[in-house]
Amino acid sequence: MVHNTKKILIPLHGNDVAPRFDLATEVMITVRDKNIAHGEEKIVVLSQASAEKLCHLILTEEIDVVICSGVEEEYYQYLTWKKVQVIDSVIGSWESVLKHFYEGTLRAGDILFDKEG
């Protein structure tokens, strides 16, 4: 049984959300319920950066939510038309982004870098 479980994809650049959706060469896919401590994550390395291939991966993996930074309107509209929730213009580490997502506080445009000092 699935209990409030979401399958989330985040395009990556290192440990951070990739600056551009169409230039990401690796993505993290995570499946968790509201208890963020329990879930599974996998990193998928793409053969090349391609928005079309990324959209195909999103649909074949049955992703529920895409959390990204810059995404062209064409791909944003396509994914939302396919019933994928897109939270865009997000900047920060994937850990921080997921934490805010599961707390229900993640919004498009959020900048979530930890402040030091």
Going by C-alpha positions, the residue among 51, 85, 79, 40 that lies closest to residue 65 is 85
What predicted TM-score, i.e. pTM, was given to this entire model?
0.89
- Asked which of 25-39, 43-57, 83-97 is least confident by mean pLDDT, the reply is 25-39
* Domain ranges (residues) in the chain: 1-7+18-31+64-72+81-92+99-117
Q: Kindly report, residue by residue over 49-94, the tens digit of the pLDDT.
A: 999 999 999 999 999 999 999 999 999 999 999 999 999 999 999 9
Q: Kindly report, residue by residue over 4-20, the tens digit of the pLDDT.
A: 678 999 999 999 999 99
Q: Give the distance between the most distant pair of CA atoms in the chain.
A: 45
Q: Which residues contact 73 (CB under 8 A, 6 or more apart)?
A: none
Distance, CA of 44 to CA of 92 (rounded, Å): 19
* Joined tokens for residue 45: 């390395």
Write down the pLDDT at residue 27. 96
Q: What is the amino acid identity at position 19?
A: P
Helix (H, G, I), strand (E, B) or coil at 91: strand
Question: In whole angstroms, what separates CA 104 from the centre of its chain?
Answer: 15
Other CB atoms within 10 Å distance of the CB of residue 81: 8
What are residue 58's DSSP bridge partners? none
